Amino acid sequence: MSRRTATGWKAAGLAALVLAGGLAFSAASAADTAGKWLHVRVIDGGDKQESVKVNLPIAVLETMAEAIQAEHFKDGQILLGETGLKAEQLRALWQSLKTSQDMEFVTVESGDDNVRVAKSGRFLVVKVSGGGSEDGGETVDVKVPIEVVDALLQAPEGQLNVKAAIQALVQYGTGDIVQVQDGTSRVRIWIDGRSTSDV
């Protein structure tokens, strides 16, 4: 594994640990074992075989989105600032993509790296593949329910509605959202109805 890749994995693991520690009390008090849970697994398959496991009820994420007040994050919404693209333009663009047939919107091929963005059924799919590791190629798979993107765009001008997007996840079934494989190291983010998982 390259030094840059190893640093990235350690950063991801540290972020997950901080998230788990900071939410431990909230998770214990707000957990609903009959509801949906978000799981994060970070496994560094290097010599030290490090791993991070995070299990959070989605209700806790919703509470976080409401509670966090920062310069660019208030009342469950992200403030985009001056992006040059108005909210109604972004929503109109998304509506045209959402109602189109299943197809690839973006395909990028550059050397060993390939990027694909597509609509497949009720999902927006992003796939990235490349040869970025001595132990094997790197792959990234992201699958976002269309309803989550809809909810994210339900916000005033210049904002993204993170709280609404989290609420939409509650209506989402179960399954993987993100998978990253880089040689023997991997990241997996998924939703199911269990409070714990051995995966």
For the chain, give every domain's residue range: 3-192
Residues 31-63: pLDDT tens digits? 443 478 889 999 887 666 778 899 988 888 877
Tokens of 156: 């005033």
Tokens of 187: 């990241």
Q: Specify the pLDDT at position 119.
A: 92
Q: Which range scores top for mean pLDDT: 5-9, 45-49, 88-92, 190-194?
A: 190-194
0.75 surpassed by pTM: no
